[in-house]
Homo-oligomer: A and B are copies of this chain.
Amino acid sequence: MCGKDPQLLSGSPDWFDGIQRLSILAGLRITECAAFIAGPFATMSLAELGASVIRIDPIEGGIDYRRWPVTESGSSLYWAGLNKGKKSVSIDIRGAEGRELAQAIITAPGPDAGLFVSNFPATGWLDFKALKQRREDLIMVNILGNRDGSTALDYTVNCAVGFPTVTGRPGDPAPTNHVLPAWDLVCGLTAATGLLAAERHRRLHGQGQLLKIALSDVALAIVGDLGFISEVQINGSARERYGNDIYGAFGRDFETADGRRLMVAAVSAGQWKALCKATGIEAAIAELETATGSDLTRDGDRFAARDKIATLLTPWFAARTLGEAGQVLDAARACWGTYQSFEELVNTDPRCSTANDMFADVNHPGIGTSLTPGSPITFSACAPVPPQAGPVLGQHTDEVLAEVLGLSSGQIADLHDRKVVASAAR
């Protein structure tokens, strides 16, 4: 369990504060009844900081248990990736006795427990008021599709909030969905933030509560935060489609002599100066500024002149391999990155390997060994939680029934016999 067997850091960088002992959320216990990304990702982010997360699933697995990608034998890489380090409890939650057990786990006592995350409708046995009667200071985070409780997924929210109409090649009349489930991820971390805020409030004031977060509200808030709403309302115009260009500054992708592609960015005067220096276009840029009366140290002027700037840069990249261009850009401290496929990332980028302390090679039951990330946060005074595998479905049923609910082995055996619970081990 996270935090129980702390890992001492070897070779700690000098900014670490002395002995590493507990992980930062060691002792916190969260129960989850959820599926897909936002809910499971919320709690996994906290498990990666040392919280003990109990995921309750129906005996045959939740609706995301076989979600693609899957291995040849049908194990879900998706499920394994989003439930790393959790305890899995299998309960027949269609029956009254199973629901009673699940409620008991959710509302079990302890100052660091009574934290619950769900993206199922908070009705029936998951109704907040019913749960609160069992534990007055329960904190429940309920993730919804829309604020009114209607269904929405990342895909059906994303299409509504404008981004697909500005993603992809200029001139393409069709919208382009992004593949990253960005809204789910942002929603999950919003839920994690809200849960910790509510736990702080409970510690200070003794009061639990229900948090509601709608996926579509998360996306709408971001649209506003990033200025897209005020662009329409104040400027009377909406963002156009600029392909791979960075809006409002200079950034574009270029092809190199060896057929690779890279992205260069100049969103500050310093990055711009570095890019010009690296590629030797300083004199040409000075001429361009004189000819057009622009000041290309200014973001907006660079954006307006982006095609002319790109015309100056294209031959420089076309004359160099990725390696050659990268070396010169690095020496000038320019900001750039290589386009990589998932294979190139996994097979060639040292950041995506065990050379990066965030990763370890972990054996996932029924799947095999793969490079597995832990939390991207490093704490100077707390032990990191080593990257972990996802559980086998029902792996921790008996452990949780015994440790959290205090059931005897006879009581647990009886629940198994009557198929109220199931366990991977049986």
Contact = CB atoms under 8 A, between A and B. Distances in A.
Contact of A337 (B76, B159, B190, B218): B159
Taking chain A's interface residues, is the majority helix, strand, or loop, or is none over half, making it mixed?
mixed
B181 A180 contact: no
A338 B377 contact: no
Contacts of A17: 207, 209-210
Q: In the assembly, how many copies of this chain are there?
A: 2
Contacts of A253: 159, 174-175, 177
A151 interface: yes
Interface stretch (A4-12, A223-231, A280-288, A398-406): A223-231
Nearest to A330: B150
A347 interface: yes
B342 A223 contact: yes
Interface residues of A, number: 162
A319 interface: no
A249 interface: yes
Interface in A187-239: 187, 189-194, 196-201, 203, 207-214, 216-218, 220-235, 238-239
A33 interface: no
Contact of A244 (B36, B177, B209): B177
Interface stretch (A53-61, A65-73, A88-96, A412-420): A65-73
A197 B23 CA distance: 10
B232 A346 contact: yes
17 contacts: A68-B249, A70-B248, A77-B230, A81-B226, A146-B351, A156-B335, A159-B340, A163-B178, A175-B261, A178-B178, A211-B380, A217-B358, A220-B373, A221-B358, A229-B373, A233-B370, A233-B371
